Chain A
């Protein structure tokens, strides 16, 4: 009834079409899907050379398991990393010889180079038998019945999210049965031009569903829903036919709107659930997989084949014969595009991914990797001049997250990053809807990427500065204490009363949160100066904010969400000092008594404090390493940290009876430390959120 009404309304008010689905916003671009779906899938010839980057996924770079000159067989494992790190192993897509292990340009936004294994293929194409080391008995023995067994095979097959995210799939699968209520098959494929998922569903529907069945069985997941946009009627038909065999699979046609295939959007549409900000779909009992990923899982489990090829779309307005094809990983872009008969010379950059969220590759020789779903050859178009924002709100109406892009833009432009963060910048999925509709042609997404990287950089720099300052303060405090304790022995009695008064004063000062006047150590000053310089530089170049440098930083940072763990550790150390401080304030009596003991053994105290710092540092280092793989455990550790240190540090506070003139310094310092600690805890909390936001982003468009 409601849908009928809206459908009728769209006749006189076309944009009402947006109301036909459950999430906010969305846009209706021209799809150009017929370009590539018109032609049948093409057989591509075996490339002479395959280039396999060691990092085709989110997480740590793999280490090569082969050396120059080695002969490799098809399906042979050629690179993997330490299991402690998040990664996905890589297999040889074809047999041949390793002719180089060197840095080459990656198909990546950053334009970075990365270590790649280069295989020169041979004619024979010898295959490795049983590459996934299945037990000899075939058949049911390989069907995983537990989440762990499933994870093992998925890991060994090197499967990652193939919709573009590249998150290692095994890490996405929960450890326990029954946690997942719904498995969503993402067949929305909402980006213009791309048709590989469409073709995949048409031709291999049963493989996709079999992959889904395997997961559902291993995880004891009761229901499977496949969401497919209604501009793919053939795929819907094929999937429905294949789904007849199973009772628990439901095929759901969806309104064609971008970005229907976004994780949050598709979940909202299919289940009418919103994933709470800062959590993952898994936490809500939902697992989402792209159709290509599911097929890869099917191939791994039923055929024992690791991930060595994928279906991709080669399309674009610059090509005469766009096509879809199953291509080997490592095939250079240019070779594929040449096969599609470019209308004019390829003197413009190709785009990897769709036109809404894809990126220009640094050169046309970059290889197809596990996440490449589309190669786009669109001849460059000149765009219209950017005009000032007229606050028309088109962007707001188009934003699928219901952000206020115009306000985000306004504050990003004026570098008011705190306000930008308050407007939930980090929930932005960079879908590009806002830029797509902006009548002023403002490259909005560019501004958001810039703001995000700026905020992250600023946070990291602040952490560094704080750490340096903390070290310096500790040193000062220690020195002062030693001196004070010496004096204290002489003047102990006399100063006890004076000190009490002083403490009170300190207390009130802190409540008023008066600005601290601590002399900065040279290290801190230098760090802050550097930050200021950078900021200045950026303000000058603010019109087109994304230069390669900042982009590189974004990339680097996205690889290291672990930093937040380190920050947490630092915060923990700070917390310790806050607690110490409160001890000081709360029990002046106790302190006096303790002071006596403390003054007796200054050397012990010093080592204790040093130990504490070292421990914090070690902890930080440790956690940085482990955070990615075992985030939960790290969190627990960090939470424990303050308690661990409390015992040792409570003794450190023995700055009891001291000369007034000497004690002023440590107290001022302590106060500063306490205030810093409070600030830092807040910063650490934010940083944690940030890391999570990053991860969510990475998972976003499957």
Chain B
């Protein structure tokens, strides 16, 4: 399908969607390694499963829609979606969880809207939200960091868990448990103050969630790389983190027993993943500079609201989907001033 350029400009800076997506994928590598270090090799199995599902679903959908398969498959945008999902679901969750999440994300989040560039909702978050609502039990069993559970899961163990749901030698409760955010939430419903919850073995002494902090820092590192190379725009992480951090700081100052501090909020759950890898998806976010900031800020506020007053321990997926809805409106009112117009 290549053709010769016949009108100006005859030059191009050699960027491409593929390169862009590849860079984003590479930037997630530190986080992947950290994840493996703390939670075992389960994620690699999940990731392989997800990629296989991706290949099957994308090919089928492109064929059904009469589109050329290769150019659209090789743009690697699907890979980013898959990676987003894989980091969100528990590493030892049953195999069909990731398969259904990816399938749902690609079919309902992408292809039914016309493919890449036309989808209003972030596909990864749509897929994740789907399994979050449909299979809440499976989603909440997160593998404990090996140092906490005292068990290091081997690759075979993870394989067993994912495909058979158990490993012969261990009971599930020993190796999985609530995530730090879950723990805080459950603690609150049982009348335990946040400060008490933070004393649990899930947290370091200075109250940062064990394992999750490192994971978030790894995402932060990758994200800063993307930022410096201009693959993502600063408005997203700055707006998002500012809103979430700011709100937690304010409420923590008012009532430290009900609201966790800003650092706990920023370094738990998928915050940095969202800040640098998920909400930065340009297709489903606002496209103007001001709009991007508002979009990201809105997500930050919503995440705080859902975490503290909503039914789910981590509301990132819903916050993103909600803000996706507002994008046309934001775009409409944040048009930049064109040169020559006052």
Contact = CB atoms under 8 A, between A and B. Distances in A.
A277 B340 contact: yes
A410 to B, nearest CB: 9
Given A382-B2, A390-B283, A402-B336, A439 B15 contact: yes
B116 interface: yes
Contacts of A407: 287, 331
Interface stretch (A349-357, A560-568, A574-582): A349-357
B11 interface: yes
B246 interface: no
A13 B228 contact: yes
A13 B230 contact: yes
B12 A383 contact: yes
Contacts of A13: 227-228, 230
Interface string B276-308: 000000110101110010000000000000000
A634 to B, nearest CB: 24
Interface stretch (B16-24, B32-40, B46-54, B185-193): B16-24
A274 B339 contact: yes
Interface string A8-46: 000011110000000110010110000000000000000
Interface stretch (A200-208, A430-438, A529-537, A611-619): A430-438
A517 to B, nearest CB: 35
B2 A393 contact: no
Given A383-B3, A387-B75, A400-B339, A436 B117 contact: no
Interface in A262-281: 264, 268, 274-278
Contact of B287 (A353, A406, A440): A406
Contacts of A12: 228
A264 B117 contact: no
Given A380-B4, A390-B17, A394-B15, A276 B9 contact: no
A391 interface: yes
B341 interface: yes
Given A382-B3, A391-B283, A404-B335, A192 B11 contact: yes
B117 A389 contact: yes
B8 interface: yes
Contact of A355 (B8, B115, B285): B8
Contact of B339 (A359, A402, A445): A402
A358 B8 contact: yes
A391 B287 contact: yes
Contact of B340 (A276, A378, A391): A276
B11 A29 contact: yes
B169 interface: no
Interface string A406-444: 110000000000000001100100101101111111010
Interface in A432-472: 432-433, 435-441, 443, 445-446, 449
A632 interface: no
B77 interface: yes
Contact of B341 (A27, A277, A378): A277
B118 A388 contact: yes
A390 B19 CA distance: 13
A430 B12 CA distance: 15
B16 A439 contact: yes
Nearest to A435: B9
B1 interface: yes
A700 to B, nearest CB: 12
Q: Which of A29, A376, A427, A435 has the most CB of B within 10 A?
A: A435
A401 B227 CA distance: 24
A403 interface: yes
A400 B340 CA distance: 11
Contacts of B17: 387, 390, 439-440
A385 interface: yes
A192 B7 CA distance: 16
B282 A392 contact: yes
B66 interface: no
Contacts of A441: 12, 16
A609 interface: no
Contacts of B71: 385, 387
Contacts of A29: 11, 13
Interface string B318-342: 0000000000000100011111111
A424 B340 CA distance: 11
B233 interface: yes
Interface of A: 12-15, 23-24, 27, 29-30, 192, 264, 268, 274-278, 351, 353, 355-360, 376, 378, 380-394, 396, 400-404, 406-407, 423-424, 427, 430, 432-433, 435-441, 443, 445-446, 449, 546
Across the A-B interface, give the 7 residue pairs with the lowest CB-CB distance, nearest first: A432-B9, A388-B117, A277-B340, A382-B2, A355-B10, A439-B15, A392-B282
Given A356-B10, A396-B336, A437-B15, 13 more contacts: A14-B228, A14-B230, A24-B336, A276-B342, A277-B341, A360-B6, A390-B282, A391-B283, A402-B337, A432-B9, A440-B16, A440-B117, A441-B12
7 contacts: A14-B229, A15-B230, A351-B10, A357-B8, A383-B2, A393-B292, A407-B331
